Amino acid sequence: MSTMAEALARLLDPAAKVSAHYLIDEDGTVYRLVDEARRAWHAGVSEWAGERDINGISIGIELVNPGHAYPGYAGGYRPFPEPQMAALVKLARDILARHAIPPQRVLGHSDVAPARKTDPGELFDWERLAAAGIGLMPRRRVTRHKTLAPGDSGRLARGFQIRLRRFGYGIAVSGIYDLATESVVKAFQRHYRRSQVDGIADAETRAALDDLLDQTGL
């Protein structure tokens, strides 16, 4: 949603069947739209760690940003302004102080619905949140993993899918690096390896996943 007015109108429109607990404007203004004790309809068809009722177990925060282009929409995706990010950090800290949310469960919509959603996207500063004690990011380390790409199949592809699913992503373990796997890898990269989002599980991407699993003990 490209403007605050458009975002607020859509989130408050019953016919739209979409809502969020909070909306943060680019100037840092925070709007509380739904009480945290109530369900907000922000995730849609989604999955994380085997749970498919994400709307029922999450607190949804929307950020005003034109977002990525898609058929019929020109987009205008851009970096998130400092006032907006500062407000998000303050709000997220407040939420975490009141709810026992593990770091690995601070997620983007693209994490829980990789085939449908791309937000908040590769320009969102997840590292800043992690530095503020919000969420989790991989540590850098040297790796010699073999690159996996669309079309690959067999033991390595299956093992990689198992590890993605163990971390939480809703991915079928087929042993085939198919379109669904590519979508999940892109979602993973938008969050945990933002420098290159191409859906290819290169050594850096695979090492990031390994490190996240090590940090969480999953």
| Angular region, 61: left φ>0, alpha ψ -120 to 50, beta rest | beta
Instruction: Return the sign of the alpha-carbon dihedral for residues 190, 193, 188, 90.
Output: negative
Six token digits for residue 201: 């599980």
Q: Which is the catalytic residue, given 26, 47, 51, 62?
A: 62
Among 54, 25, 20, 46, smallest CA distance to 35 is for 20
**What CA–CA distance (Å, rounded) separates 82 from 212?**
27
Q: What is the DSSP string of 115-132?
A: TT---S-TTS-HHHHHHT
Residue 200: which residues within 8 A CB-CB, separation 6 or more?
147, 148, 149, 150, 185
**What CA–CA distance (Å, rounded) separates 89 from 61?**
12
**What CA–CA distance (Å, rounded) separates 192 from 130?**
11
Active site residue 127: no
| Angular region, 142: left φ>0, alpha ψ -120 to 50, beta rest | beta
Report which secondary-structure segment, H or E, holds 215: helix 203-216
Query: Annotated active-site positions, please?
Result: 62
